[in-house]
Chains A and B, each alone.
Chain A
Amino acid sequence: MTTQLRHIPMAREDRPQYFDDPAVDRLLQMLLELAAELWAVKDWQFVVNRLLEQRGVLTLEDVQRYQPTEDDQKLLAVEREKFVHRFIKHISPTMEPLKYE
């Protein structure tokens, strides 16, 4: 079994293209990122629901009625920015990774 001499990448940035149109590669990366986040959220909800139940502190209704405070909004904004960036960075392989402050 011989294989033609071909390009063998040494660097992680030198990523093979899987689909004829590179746009499909990037879409799939976005999809994977979303899927991972979505699963994390479902898992988190499960944990929180369990805790709420066990301690009898909250009802679902309380959750529905809650209005995020200004501080909440700030925290959510930071998380949302990270989330959007993780997802969006795949439109270009040259996009900077997140900075860690």
Chain B
Amino acid sequence: MPSVTLPETPLPQTERAITEFLKALKASERTDRMPVVREEYRQLAESWSERHGHAPRTLDEIDDVMRSSVAYKFDRALARFSQELMYARVHELLQPRRSELEAFLDAPVEHPLGSLRLNPSIPIPTYYEADYHVQPGGMHREPLIGFVTAVTNKVYFGGTNDSEEQQRLSAAACPDGPWERILDLGCGCKSAYYYKLRWPDAEVHGIDLSAPLLKYAHKRAEAMGLAIHFSQQNCEQTDFPDNHFDLISSCILFHEIPDEAAWNTVQEAFRLLKPGGWFVINDAPPYRALDPFGAYFSDWQTGNNVEPYWGEAGRRNYPEWFQNAGFRNVSDPFIRGEVKGPTRIFPWTTMGQKP
């Protein structure tokens, strides 16, 4: 019997309605707004091409065209503002329960199946102070971030419950195993469970820099009856020994760290893996997998949704990085021949094996 029950954060009638309103507004991005924006772009691009003697190709050229699209301005401003409205409402909702929820997170678990190891003196890199996704308090300065995430998931991914499709698919994309010991890098409070569910006999570890996220993740694992070992560590440099894991995976971590940190992490994964072990990156597709217009839309995240490293990540060539770090049998959807045309494949899975 699990010894932990996660406190429910039910949405009162008004908040439920507003959540559904925001969901509908988000859905209108694809169904109503995108076709109009594309059409306006097509028209504006025609006159741009006449003036410049060629069609817009680079992101800067597309931006030059888009700057005069009123539909695009409304579309994007609404995307940003509804995101802000959502966080404002969720915080207003949780605020009166703050002390109760914080006490729950801080209470020790009796006879835990897994474990939680925090390190209050861990150095926090400056890049990590970003208010990712426009979240108040970023990833680690809001103690209730786990609960915030549980509510906002409902707006992002629809459904009445958290549908953690991205996390499930990321675990499913890994090589088959069986594996003895698995590490989830940047586990937050959503992805580690899916490795344990896929390989119940494996010893599963999750690391993250955010103490509040880890506290929530630990409680959630115990509530689910899953033995997972969480620790507060920087994925660039961990305290695990060499040749320790059979599988190291990550789900939407890499776009949240800058190039240098990402490269350090690839090297760290190489150190941590046993010979024959696999390293897997699951993230958004790189810009070269998209058409220029798709890449432009993707790149919007960088400057507008506090995703400061999204743009660098979109330009990375992970297969090359993997080779340089020493991995072999390296593949991504291009190399595996899974790509037919411009694609939004998610997860975009890069993997490589330590010889």
Contacts and interface: CB of A to CB of B under 8 A. Distances in A.
Interface in B86-102: 88, 92, 95-96
DSSP majority for the A interface? loop
Contacts of B136: 12
Nearest to A99: B95
A12 B17 contact: no
B317 interface: no
Nearest to A100: B95
A16 B22 contact: no
Contacts of A8: 302-303, 308, 311
Interface stretch (B108-116, B127-135, B332-340): B127-135
A36 B21 contact: yes
Nearest to A4: B60
Interface range on chain A (Cβ under 8 Å from partner): 20 to 34
Contacts of B299: 3
A70 to B, nearest CB: 24
A15 B80 contact: yes
A28 B81 contact: yes
Nearest to A12: B131
B82 interface: yes
Contacts of A4: 60
A11 B131 contact: yes
Nearest to B135: A12
A36 to B, nearest CB: 5
Interface in A1-50: 1-4, 6-12, 15-16, 18-19, 25, 28-29, 32-33, 35-37, 39-40, 43-44, 47
Interface of A: 1-4, 6-12, 15-16, 18-19, 25, 28-29, 32-33, 35-37, 39-40, 43-44, 47, 86, 97-98, 100
6 contacts: A11-B306, A32-B82, A40-B21, A43-B20, A100-B92, A100-B96
